[in-house]
Amino acid sequence: MNKLGMKFMLSAAFYGLIAMSVGVYMAATSDYLFKAAHGHLNLLGWVTMSIFGIVYFVLPDLASTKLAKLHFYCAHVAVLFLSGGMAIFVLFGSTNVAKVGAVFAISSMLLFLYGLIKYGSTKTSFSQSSAIDSKQPISE
């Protein structure tokens, strides 16, 4: 696996572990105060980061760009600020941190979309630089 794909996957597993631990805590104590933080950490941290990692694994040319590296940092800020912001909201009533997280979450997805469009316009066929071996026949 290329380096960036692996970094995304490791981050995803880390966030997933934290999020699930919060879930276990909520289930054990019947205290659901942090369910929004838990939900966002799972979906943005575990699920979304995993999808990014898999895409960068399949498209190593895209993973080697500066844009993809910027996307990685932007995605982290989004996870930390949006999930943390949810916890801050229930504790202190302020939505400011979550708002910053939302801006980074949108920016992260925009960078990803832009990278995909740019990648798609420079490649004539998906198999040209995909990690999937184009010589292998696709079994029906």
Our CB check for ligand HEM shows the closer of 43 and 131 to be: 43
- Comparing CB distances to ligand HEM, the nearer of 65 and 95 is 95
The 3-state secondary structure of 79-108 reads HHHHHHHHHHHHHHCCCHHHHHHHHHHHHH
Min CB(97)–ligand HEM separation in Å? 19
Whichever of 36 and 67 has its CB closer to ligand HEM, that residue is 36
The residues in 13-52 that bind ligand HEM, with binding defined as CB under 6 A, are: 20, 23-24, 26-27, 32, 35, 38-39, 42-43, 46-47
Neighbouring C-alpha atoms within 13 Å toward the C-beta of 125: 5
CB of 34 to ligand HEM, least distance (A): 9
Cα(123)–Cα(118) distance, rounded to whole angstroms? 9
The two tokens of residue 46 are 């575990």
Nearest distance from residue 54's CB to ligand HEM, in Å? 15
State the minimum distance, in angstroms, from the CB of residue 104 to ligand HEM.
20
Q: Under a CB-based contact definition with an 8 Å cutoff, are residues 129 and 61 in contact?
A: yes
Q: Which residues bind ligand HEM (CB under 6 A)?
A: 20, 23-24, 26-27, 32, 35, 38-39, 42-43, 46-47
